[in-house]
A and B are shown apart, each in its own frame.
Chain A
Amino acid sequence: MSAEEWQIVWFTAWVSALSTVVILPFGLAVAWLLARHQWRGKSIVETLISLPLVMPPVATGLILLKIFGRRRTIGGFLHDTLNLDIVFTWRGVLIALGVMSFPLLVRSARVAFEEVSPRMEQIARTLGAGNWRVFFTITVPLAGRGIAAGMILSFARALGEFGATIMVAGNIPGKTSTLSLDIFQSVQLGQDSHAFRMLGMSVALAFAAVWASEWLMRQRKGLK
């Protein structure tokens, strides 16, 4: 394994983990709103959030490219005022992974929140807890398993992301190249031994993620 190869592995693992962490607060907020409240436009928001699951990833990537491109409103604003470039940088990878795995996180967390008995939350209120305290000390811990499962799922989805990433971030070696992009490219270029090493690393990462999630479930079950 060369230094370049290690860089790709680390970058993929790191940016996937970061995207999961970044979408977590938004994902929990949306999941909680969907699980606990009725509001106008709820079904539209539900559908919008699920779109990346159903649409071709490349199409989602194209939308993101149009939104964050340097000559577009949001991309232009970020470039001009904050000097932040999204497209063809690691930030582009981050956004692509986040958007693609967001629905998976929201779905798991929503089901988990729905399973928490509202009675627990109500009784916590009678014990003097305000909304935030109820959420962080009762709702989230009781939904913990589902939330953890959702995070693992998001992370796994991010590890394998291809279509949206290549649209928004391209495949720039040492900058935006992830395992999936790199494997595809090396097979294209006939670098089979490199591709196989990257394949091995993909298997190892996937194995670690799944094993960690199983272990986590067992721990939680032991608690119950």
Chain B
Amino acid sequence: MGQRMADAPTEGIEVSLLLKDISLPLADFTLEVNVEIRSPITVIFGPSGSGKTSLLDLVAGLRRVESAFIQLDDEVLTDAGNRIFVPTRRRGIGYVPQDLALFPHLSVRQNLLYGHQPYGNNRFTFDHIVDLLEIRPLVHRGVTQLSGGEKQRVALARALLTSPRLLLLDEPLANLDMQLKAKILPYLARIRDEFHIPMLYVTHDRFETLSLADEMVVLINGRVAQNGLVQEVFSHPTDLDVAGILTVETIQPGRIVKTADDLVTVAVGNALLSAVEPNLPSGTTGVHVCIRADDVILLKGADTPSSPRNQLPATVHSIAREGSMIRIDLDCGFPLIAFLTKQACEELALTEGDRVFALIKAPHIHLIPR
């Protein structure tokens, strides 16, 4: 994790978003949140219908609630107890909703300029943002003539042109296919690096979370099930609910050392792994290496040839029961997590300190650009 923070060009961003005593009754449950958000990009992660959008609405001031305390940096935006409620338009918070809400009766240019403050913060100039998001050719078109990816960038630009202090993104890539996603993600990274705007990013997509976020808040049925550093949450879910929606895995920073056809060789810790990842943007070197705990096969002692590309000598570090499965933490040059059934574990007669081989098929190793 230290690796991620040191690599990320996000250190200059300082934010403190306090969401305290939030209690909002929704149809099936009550949204209850009590977190402090301090990292530049925080993902609100959760299955659909878990209250993620409602939470963004509260931060933006689009919903009033009987109990809430919301403070951004040193300004109290909502304090229901003391009847403080800064109106939406004075919050300085940019919001890109899931349906984008581009105004269909206005041109792209008129949409972009709707909330633009030409005399505001001079980092957010029209020309700069239009060029950064590469939407200059679209400026004179009508909003209805844009493709999905173009609409996405226009909506982002429109929010940025208000010189926001915080950007709220509600599943911005949900309606795009994998290829388009991979194209838009770098724009989001650019916004982060260029403008140093903190973002709250709602998604239920692991790929987006790992590519962008520093921290994540896992929201299940309106309750914060876990929050913390992304890799921490993915590798150590606090309970079964969280593990269920995340699927436990090993996430380690890696470096691509060789690419031959579709087979990518990547260095992780002291080990070299082979992965199959045809969709990787060319020139990528830094990656997150993701290995689902279910995909790791353990072999004791035998050195008969087997088909998986990756056969790593490993030491069993710890064995713990997790629901109906047994979680095995291994050391194979980097920390690796494996899930076995109870029976399999008994047959192998595993104990801590055992030497084993960890087998992972190349297609089961996922690489996500950092």
Contacts and interface: CB of A to CB of B under 8 A. Distances in A.
A223 B159 CA distance: 24
A123 B101 contact: yes
A184 B57 CA distance: 60
Interface stretch (B92-100, B182-190, B235-243, B270-278): B92-100
Given A126-B94, A127-B158, A130-B89, A120 B101 contact: yes
B104 A126 contact: no
A224 B62 contact: no
B29 interface: no
Contact of A127 (B62, B87, B115, B144): B115
A126 B88 contact: yes
A126 B93 contact: yes
A119 B57 CA distance: 11
Nearest to A125: B88
A41 interface: no
Nearest to A140: B105
Interface string A125-149: 1111110000001100110100000
B101 A117 contact: yes
A122 interface: yes
B117 A126 contact: no
Nearest to B115: A127
Interface in A91-137: 117, 119-120, 122-130, 137
Given A141-B105, A223-B105, A127 B60 contact: no
A129 B90 CA distance: 9
Contact of B97 (A119, A128, A137, A224): A119
Contacts of B60: 122, 126
A66 to B, nearest CB: 45
If over half of B's interface residues share one DSSP class (helix, strand or loop), that class is named, otherwise mixed; here it is: loop
A144 B62 CA distance: 25
B103 interface: yes
B80 to A, nearest CB: 19
Interface string B250-273: 000000000000000000000000
Contacts of B105: 141-142, 144, 223
Contacts of B209: none
Interface residues of A, number: 19
Contacts of B93: 126
A125 B101 contact: no
A224 B145 CA distance: 10
A119 B117 CA distance: 22
Contact of A128 (B57, B103, B142, B162): B162
B62 A138 contact: no
A87 to B, nearest CB: 43
Contacts, number: 58
Given A142-B104, A224-B104, A224-B144, A125 B99 contact: no
Nearest to A129: B89
B103 A138 contact: yes
Nearest to B91: A126
Contacts of A129: 89, 114-115
A124 B94 contact: no
Interface in B46-91: 57, 60, 62, 87-89, 91
B162 A127 contact: yes
B162 A122 contact: no
B117 A128 contact: yes
A79 to B, nearest CB: 46
Contacts of B104: 142, 224
B97 A125 contact: no
Interface string B200-215: 0000000000000000
A188 B166 CA distance: 75
A88 B95 CA distance: 57
Contacts of A119: 97, 99, 101
A123 B117 contact: no
A207 B30 CA distance: 57
Interface string B107-129: 00000001101000000000000
A120 B89 contact: no
A125 B114 CA distance: 10
B159 to A, nearest CB: 8
Contacts of B115: 124, 126-129
A129 B94 CA distance: 13
A120 B95 CA distance: 11
A223 B103 CA distance: 12
A78 to B, nearest CB: 41
B114 A124 contact: yes
B62 A122 contact: yes
26 contacts: A119-B99, A122-B57, A122-B60, A122-B88, A122-B97, A123-B101, A125-B62, A125-B87, A125-B89, A126-B62, A126-B93, A126-B94, A126-B95, A126-B159, A126-B162, A127-B158, A127-B159, A128-B117, A128-B162, A130-B89, A138-B103, A141-B105, A142-B104, A223-B105, A223-B142, A224-B144
Given A127-B158, A144-B105, 5 more contacts: A123-B97, A126-B60, A126-B91, A127-B162, A137-B114
Interface of A: 117, 119-120, 122-130, 137-138, 141-142, 144, 223-224
Q: Which 8 A-B pairs have the closest CB atoms?
A: A127-B115, A125-B88, A123-B101, A126-B95, A141-B105, A128-B115, A122-B62, A128-B89
